[in-house]
Structure 1
Amino acid sequence: MTRSRVAVVGVGHLGQHHARILSEIPEVELVAVADSRIEQARSVAEKTGTRAVADYRELLNEVDAVSIAVPTFMHREVAGDFLARGIATLVEKPLASNSAEAEELVALAQVRRTLLQVGHVERFNPALSALDGLPMRPKYITAERLSTYTFRSTDIGVVLDLMIHDIDLVLAMNPGPVRSVVAVGVSVFGGHEDVANARIEFEDGCVANLTASRASFQAMRKMRLWSAEGYAMLDFMTKQGTLVRPSEQLRRGQLDLTGVDLTNPAEVKEHLFGTVLRVDQVQSEIQDQLKLELEDFVQAIRSGTPPKVSGQQGLRAMRLASEILRAIQTHQWEGDSDGPTGPRHLPQPLAAPNSLLKGPFSWRSRTGRPASSNTPQSQ
């Protein structure tokens, strides 16, 4: 069987790894790499044994498939040109700059009956294997995705840059409709939002609380899930998972502490997290997530099987991300429509510490003065 002719468009920080991995897949002929910075393209081409071009449009008649890792604002144009030719396309996350452009790409792929895959690489994280085979229906999900500022992806904010990973994962776990979204965000570096939190409630009662920051001094990528079936903690950095599941006896509302010395904390802990609650640490084989993603893409190209993350799934993540961004933009910091709203228009901070702010309630005062000492006390 002949090899699939594939190109990579955009070979910067991430795209160069797309090129390297694709050049090593036996079923792939890496036809070329394209980047408007021709010297960067030539450097990557030399390492991967292919040729470099500055204009990706030179490749429209030469390839069977393309992997696109250009800045997000270019996704609609670049991916659209390849999809219009019926060329199988992998687009790095997020699918587009906004949901309208994402809708257009998905519609174009459908009209041309061609493959559109979205690069939500966390779907291939080995930590997710902790959930394999478990009948878990999460009812409360929390996720924290924190990083330092990298000066990349500055054309989008933290919702489309980082939180989009967890949005996609949550939607993969709960395919039902969303009932409501509440969100808040702050611009730290003067452009888009750099810190954001979103609370998402689904119609089936599931609640997801997502936090993302690219202004953190400490990196973290964790997700926690609570359900009637148990609890799971997924660490996407260490690629490990922890499962805590109740015993059948505890499910029936029975807690048997017979023979346990309740004055011995170590013995109590061992009994609770061994007999009453079963704890499993899951460490999967460490694998290159990007390699798994690209192999999935190549498999979909050659066999016609659906990719793990289709254009439709990428679109659903974009739709929810757009709702979150709208909620961030309209958030009223002081509950007043005439007051500051959105990630860049924050309330004026206090100029200095205020000695009058004492006690648990005085902060509620608009003047910053504590409540009068004559205020009646509850009995």
Structure 2
Amino acid sequence: MSDISEKQVRIGVAGAGVFGRNHANKIKANPRAILVGIFDLSAERAEALASELSTQAFTDLSAILAEVDALVVATPAIAHGGVARAAIDAGKHCLVEKPLAATATDADILCQHAAERGVVLQAGHQERYIFTAMGLFEVAERPKFLQATRVGLPSIRGADVSVTLDLMVHDIDLARILFRSEPVAIKATRLAGEPNNPDAVEAVLTFEGGSEARFLASRAAEERDRRMTIGYSEGEVTIDFIAKSFDDGPNFGLHPDFATRIPDPMGAATADFISAILGERTVAISAADGAAAVRIAEAIDQATRA
């Protein structure tokens, strides 16, 4: 691994799709980073995005890995495990878009290899920054219940994995932090899509003490809806993610200006990734947490087939 303590971090992006473009722009905008290039198996896609960002196109993963200190993995989710493992085994730091991998086994392998090689492995659960800006993670009380709706219009983006891994995984990650425990029971129903790749899923997770989290995720809806209600003994916190508004029912002193407090969660994640690489902070969103979200999502998908 190269010595990067006194220079900019050289970062490449794997995946020339929407998320690859977004991540590449954040890297290019960060003064402590150099965007080395874009990797994609499609030369046309790689060259188009690389040209747009005045960087180099790669269609050989080993070639871009030879030029970088770190890699952001924004390929289709089914390829996250293989691409990230190749980067980690080459001694490169990785930020992997959610989900960390398409299976719990692959996610655990990434965690193990990153630990063995001493590289940073950060999970791409950027929505945590929104909850941090709200002040929700500072609430001492554990919720009594949580209900999350995350539905969108039909799209082929993310369709290589279940809607659970594609969309619901965000709310799974947030619920784990709020409940501060792992679910002890899982029930789930497939509402649309194929048994091995559902497009709409409803799930109920029971946590210690009987608290429940109810999730609805769909990529087959007629309109977008992203809301969450978190119930506490003194009232409910209700969030409308699309309107960027919420109601602090229990009067916890949450921050109504959260959208201006963290206007760019992905940019913040990029900055934290670079800081972790430079040894200035611990990993902002740990690989272990990313793997836990994948494990729960996989269990939910299995429950829909029970």
Question: 5 Å matches for 1:214-229?
Answer: 214-229=219-234
Q: Please report the TM-score for the alignment, with normalisation by the length of structure 1.
A: 0.74
| Corresponding residue for residue 318 of structure 1 | 294
> What SS is found at the alignment partner of 1:5?
strand
Question: 5 Å matches for 1:234-313?
Answer: 234-245=239-250, 282-284=256-258, 285=260, 287-313=263-289
Amino acid at match of 1:19: A
Runs of at least 4 residues off by over 4 Å: 278-281
| Corresponding residue for residue 208 of structure 2 | 203
CA distance in 2, matches of 1:164, 1:149: 18
CA distance in 2, matches of 1:233, 1:109: 37
Of structures 1 and 2, the larger Rg is shown by 1
2:36 is the alignment partner of 1:31? yes
1:239 Cα deviation after fit: 2.5
CA distance in 2, matches of 1:300, 1:109: 14
CA distance in 2, matches of 1:312, 1:199: 23
| Corresponding residue for residue 94 of structure 1 | 99
| Corresponding residue for residue 3 of structure 2 | none
Q: Greater relative contact order (Cα 8 A, min sep 6): structure 1 or 2?
A: 2
1:39 Cα deviation after fit: 1.9
**What CA RMSD, in Å, does the superposition of the two structures yield over aligned residues?**
2.0
1:304 Cα deviation after fit: 4.5
Structure 2: 5+ residue stretches without partners: 1-5
> What SS is found at the alignment partner of 2:209?
coil
1:220 Cα deviation after fit: 1.2
1:237 Cα deviation after fit: 2.0
| Corresponding residue for residue 357 of structure 1 | none
In proportion to residue count, which structure has more helix? 2
Percent of aligned pairs sharing the same letter:
31
Q: Please report the TM-score for the alignment, with normalisation by the length of structure 2.
A: 0.91
CA distance in 2, matches of 1:214, 1:290: 22
Question: 5 Å matches for 1:1-379?
Answer: 1-125=6-130, 129-131=134-136, 133-188=138-193, 192-245=197-250, 282-284=256-258, 285=260, 287-330=263-306
1:144 Cα deviation after fit: 0.3
Aligned length: 299
1:91 Cα deviation after fit: 0.7
CA distance in 2, matches of 1:210, 1:138: 15
CA distance in 2, matches of 1:298, 1:237: 29
Contact 1:130 1:242 in 2 (8 A): no
Contact 1:22 1:294 in 2 (8 A): yes
